[in-house]
A and B are shown apart, each in its own frame.
Chain A
Amino acid sequence: MGKAEILALLLILLGLVLLALFWARARRRRPVYVRPLSAFDQIPGEVGMAAEAGRPLHLGLGFGGIGGSRTATSLAGLQVLEGIADAAVAYSTPPVVTVGDPTLMLLAQDVLRRASGRIGAPERYDPASVRFVAADPVVYALGASDVVSHDRVMGNVLAGAYGEEVSFITAGGMGMRQMAAADQLRAVSALYPADTFLAVGEELYAAGARLSRLPRYLASLKVQDLLRLVVIVLLLLKVLGLF
């Protein structure tokens, strides 16, 4: 193992330890500050408005799936679904979820099914509210865009793996409130010009902490921020030749 690998391993171990610590802390319900992120902060309100209008939200989870380099991105997107599923299902306006990878479809269906079970109305779960659109990113984006513009959805939330073709979806949602979180440069550069509330890069991974506020997400976000600080310090040391 080279120096880089050892450093990486140390970082991972540090992350693990910190994660355990903060998790324990968060579970004791110590208040944890989470920075506001306009993209996610809009969402609960959007869920409420959707319920009032009786029209669902569209939640695009991107074309990523489980098992690839987009796994983490896609799981982070899934946290958005987790964060709104309970409320949305309880209001009888479960989101229309589009996915570009069938493995993610299964997970998304599971989230909605569990949410229905939790509110005591398992019969409200409709597997068809999660739609596998297409495996090709562009075709997925076009399909999702069709859902957004023709399925009477109330708002548009995008979180997950996207490329610049995401602009199809935002174009389809023009005029409605749109929230997007992406950790891919190409997606971000396409989302920025589109008129969306945008969470960029690692902010996507704050979705869980921001929306569901589960202790593990809060702890994770805290550790993430701390580790970034560590990395910054290391970089500075390196630049200054001290390391």
Chain B
Amino acid sequence: MISCPKCGVANPEDSRSCRACGTPLSGGEEAGRRCPMCGAMNPADSVVCEQCQARLVPLVAEEAAEAQPEVPSGEEVSGAEPFSEEVSLPAEEEPDWLTELRATMEEAEEEQEPPVEEAGPVAEVEVPDWLRELTPSAPPPSEEAEGEAETEVPEWLQESAPEAAPPEEEVERESEVPEWIQEVVSPEEEAEETAEVPDWLREVSPPDASVEEEEVEAAPPPEGELEPPAWLQEVSEEVGGGPFVGVPTEEAEAVQPGAEAPEWLREIAEAVEPPSTPPEREAEEEVSLPPTEEAEEPEEAELPTWLLQAVSPVEAPAEEAPTEAEEPEVRKGVRVFTSEEGVPTLEPGEVPDWLKELAPTDEVPLPVPEEKGEEEIEGLAPAEIPDWLEALRPREEGGTPEEPVETEGVLEGLRGTLPPSPAVEAAERAVSIPSVTAKPASIARAELFQELLTRPIISPRRIERRRERGVGLAIQRLIIGLLLLAAVLAPMAGMWLPVGEGGGSAAPALLPDVQAAYTTVETRVHQGTPVLVSIEYGPSEAEEVDLVAQTLLRHILDRGGRLILVSTRPEGPALADRLLSALVEAADREARVVNLGYQPGQASGVQGLLANLARRPVYPAGVPASEMPAMEGVSSAEDVNLVVVLGGQDEDVLTWIEQTSARYPDLPVVAGVSARVEVSASPYLERAGAGALKGLVVGLPGATVYQDLRGEEDRHLTYYLQSVMWGQWAVAALMAVGMVVFLAGGKGR
């Protein structure tokens, strides 16, 4: 938990802002993350930009983030101080190149405009502090960087600083450059190479042999001095890479550059490393490598976004190289450099690929070197190229077989395996993000979307059909409404439809089910028998169902039954009251009838109700039902002789039938329903084989039949029936007319 500094409320671990007061919960901006989209600074643990909602952390990056701490910080590295002494660089200078660097970085950033959203996050993950420093926004880092640079950064690296660097600086550097180096370097070369070309490279350039030797000289010292820096050890342990631990000093050298690589690499990068390449080639000829351009492209693809950000396109390869280089260097660099025999580090074959990669790109004013080198190149044994250099090569480069062979572990003997260093890991992750994050669901959605895109549009018919006049529709509707109204009122005007035999017994088809209902009531209800009645209709259906209900309930009351009414609809109780007031004398009511009111919960409610009839309060007074005389001897549905369901909606009716027959299979159910429920209720009839429903009284015709059975004559009902029939005729006529009109293609077509 994080407690809010302002209001003290505890917030979830990953909160960005306080859920109570909105105060940002993370530290100051220095530690923050820069949004790759809008540039706003966000708290360091932000996942999403507060300003623009862009994602700051790649979806998978969390683990990588954990690794981050291990990544060498500049200070640690500086502790190692690999090169510093040898090179004896003046500390003062570094600031300059750093500033330059920063400047260039900024430019680069601007040019490149914010990388993919992931970029930000990725950078965080892998990019050690030093990288952050490099970004213009973060002021503090720069100092660190300087510090590091002073100690660690070899001159040659510094020299390789950005092209942007003003000439004067170069001059300075030259001056700074150790004498031996200066000696080595021929003036022309320098000029050619642009300022950035590392001195040591320059040195190398002139005499092949001498260069090597000299380099060797230079190289060895570091070895001796350097024990693997602390951070390296840490890394190795964590990474679990056995190789790291035991790695000899040379590795250290190699590694360090990698670790610090950031700065010098950038420098190189921006400086257009290409220059550096040339010298080597001249000297060593090993350069069999294809021109930089090729290399660049593939590499770019693989480059972690943060690298892309940092590096201007041209230099991309160079930067990448360092990162990848780390491991290889670690392992194999040893052989190459160490060479106890005193073999110069730079063998002809050694010329680092990354240097080659650095070769001139369009933008960069490239040094001439390449031409010279090429002939020599053949002479060089590719095999000799140090693995770590090899590793720097763009992987996808065609035709370069020399990928480092894994020397240990499961992958032993395989080429092109990925080095285990944290930075590289992170980079790989970044690249593979899409496949890792996609969940089946999102993929499915994407597929659906794809499918939708490719699917032809359905039903163009819609398009041609268009709204007719709103007025036209309204008039049509009005006419139809009036017509129906007239039809329904016709019986009042004395217009009777001729009906079949039986004074309006509409459908003989209804007879069996009504008969069954009638018989059930006759046999199950006696004096004092409790009958459970559910009122499952509202005012919307009441006009129809009320008539059915009255017919059924009157029969039950006449036989002396007691009524227990309940409803799963909120309006039910009021309707029940209306119904009862028409059926039962007020004086009689207490003894014969009890209204249990509204039972929420639909099916569950019905279950609960059936099990606990007596526990319910009475509507509307609220006294316990068990105190009512009409409830005497009734505690649950088991004590009831019959269930009558009066419903206007099929679901309600079916719910009652199902719930009752499921728990009380011997309890008969009779239903009086609206005509529209007929279709869905009839499959539940005992007659239909389902056995749950004993009898069914459907709508006005059903009620009429029932009254016939009881020998009742209800003029009221007859009127209703006539109205309904008139209405049906009217609708049938309308349909017929519509059919003719629109089939004939008349109106509207």
Contacts and interface: CB of A to CB of B under 8 A. Distances in A.
Nearest to A213: B444
B680 A45 contact: no
A114 interface: no
Contact of A69 (B449, B466, B473, B658): B658
B663 interface: no
B448 A68 contact: no
Interface in A58-73: 64-65, 67-71
Interface stretch (A6-14, A132-140, A199-207): A132-140
B16 to A, nearest CB: 11
B723 to A, nearest CB: 19
A135 B654 CA distance: 18
A120 B48 contact: yes
A213 B540 contact: no
A110 interface: no
Interface of B: 48, 53, 440-441, 443-445, 447-449, 452, 455, 457-459, 462, 466-467, 473, 538-540, 568-571, 601-605, 649-651, 654-655, 658, 676, 679-680
Interface string A103-141: 000000000000000001100000000000001111100
Given A41-B455, A64-B651, A177-B462, A213 B658 contact: no
A214 B569 contact: no
Interface of A: 26-27, 29, 38, 41-42, 44-45, 64-65, 67-71, 86, 120-121, 135-139, 161, 163-165, 174-175, 177, 184-186, 197, 211-215, 218
B658 A163 contact: no
Nearest to A66: B602
A42 B651 contact: no
A29 B443 contact: yes
A177 B459 CA distance: 11
Given A41-B458, A137-B649, A68 B53 contact: no
A161 B676 CA distance: 15
Nearest to B466: A175
A137 B652 CA distance: 12
A213 B447 contact: yes
Nearest to B601: A67
B444 A121 contact: no
A139 B540 contact: yes
A68 B651 contact: yes
Contacts of A138: 538, 540
Contacts of B602: 65, 67-71
Given A64-B651, A71-B602, A197-B459, 9 more contacts: A29-B444, A38-B459, A67-B601, A69-B658, A136-B538, A136-B539, A136-B569, A213-B447, A214-B440
24 contacts: A27-B440, A41-B455, A67-B601, A67-B603, A67-B604, A68-B568, A68-B604, A68-B651, A69-B654, A69-B655, A69-B658, A71-B603, A120-B53, A136-B538, A136-B569, A137-B540, A137-B649, A138-B540, A163-B650, A185-B679, A186-B676, A197-B458, A212-B444, A215-B440
A219 to B, nearest CB: 12
A91 to B, nearest CB: 13
A165 B441 CA distance: 36
Main secondary structure, interface of B, reads helix
A174 B571 contact: no
A183 B601 CA distance: 21
A85 to B, nearest CB: 12
Contact of A213 (B445, B467, B571): B445
A185 B683 CA distance: 13
A77 B658 CA distance: 23
A155 B457 CA distance: 16
Contacts of B444: 29, 212-215, 218
Nearest to B458: A38
**Considering the complex of A and B, which 8 residue pairs feature the smallest CB-CB distances, nearest first?**
A68-B602, A213-B444, A138-B540, A175-B467, A69-B655, A67-B602, A68-B603, A69-B651
Contact of A135 (B445, B458, B462, B569): B569
A71 B654 CA distance: 13
Contacts of B601: 67-68
B105 to A, nearest CB: 30
A214 B571 contact: no
Nearest to B658: A69
Contacts of B452: 41, 44-45
Contacts of A65: 602
B43 to A, nearest CB: 16
A214 B462 CA distance: 31
Nearest to B541: A138
Contact of A184 (B53, B447, B650): B650
A194 to B, nearest CB: 13
A13 to B, nearest CB: 19
A218 B445 CA distance: 12
B473 A42 contact: no
B455 A213 contact: no
Contacts of A71: 602-603
Contacts of B540: 136-139, 165
Nearest to B606: A68
Nearest to A68: B602
A200 to B, nearest CB: 15
A164 B675 CA distance: 12
Given A42-B458, A136-B538, A213-B444, A70 B680 contact: no
Contacts of B448: 44, 211, 213
Contacts of B48: 120
B535 to A, nearest CB: 14
